[in-house]
Chains A and B, each alone.
Chain A
Amino acid sequence: DSGVTQTPKHLITATGQRVTLRCSPRSGDLSVYWYQQSLDQGLQFLIQYYNGEERAKGNILERFSAQQFPDLHSELNLSSLELGDSALYFCASSLFGGEANEKLFFGSGTQLSVL
């Protein structure tokens, strides 16, 4: 168990809908990262938050947004969902801002199915 908690484990929804994925980092970790894993794109970095502030942005669509709350948990919001958004969404955490010698710990993911 990595200590990173993601809910829900599975999510089934329809095109055009909006969903929220939740992540609780390991105790004491200040950074949260979101990754998308799909069959055609592989594992792709979406966004990183460090202590409540956006730290780095990757291949995140404009329909997607994230935030990190004062208690350090994070939510990834996906709106106007399309079939191609079906994927496994991982949250990871690290102790600080992702500096050298920091390790990344991944949660077990949320499997999103858009029908």
Chain B
Amino acid sequence: GENVEQHPSTLSVQEGDSAVIKCTYSDSASNYFPWYKQELGKGPQLIIDIRSNVGEKKDQRIAVTLNKTAKHFSLHITETQPEDSAVYFCAASIHGSARQLTFGSGTQLTVLP
């Protein structure tokens, strides 16, 4: 089955700096790659997603890039703010949708004021 690896497991950045989280996947049939943000005491919340027919997608300060050949995708957060502090999860699915997601192990992002 699909295996998703996520790095780093923890990341500390100064407010205003950029943060990058990287994931690799094993199943070349995977075609949907969402990113979720989980705050303390809450469930994961979708922040951005990308499909395999697109190389990059941007939404304000958040961007995701996908390299199908290398089977890796990355989350980029620019101009980080303290409220960006949370655990971020990448995920992958072969169904082109959020059905049967395989999640990475998570990255604890801390934005230092």
Contact = CB atoms under 8 A, between A and B. Distances in A.
B64 to A, nearest CB: 15
Contacts of A94: 98
B43 to A, nearest CB: 3
Interface stretch (A11-19, A41-49, A61-69, A79-87): A41-49
B13 interface: no
Interface residues of A, number: 25
Select the residue from B32, B51, B103 with max chain A CB neighbours within 10 A.
B103
A108 B41 contact: yes
* Dominant SS among interface residues on chain A: loop
B24 interface: no
* Dominant SS among interface residues on chain B: loop
A43 B38 CA distance: 12
B57 interface: no
Given A42-B104, A44-B103, A45-B102, A90 B96 contact: no
Nearest to B101: A45
Nearest to B4: A42
Nearest to A109: B43
A90 B42 CA distance: 10
Given A42-B103, A43-B103, A4 B97 contact: no
Interface of A: 2, 4, 42-45, 48, 55-56, 58, 90, 92, 94, 97-104, 106-109
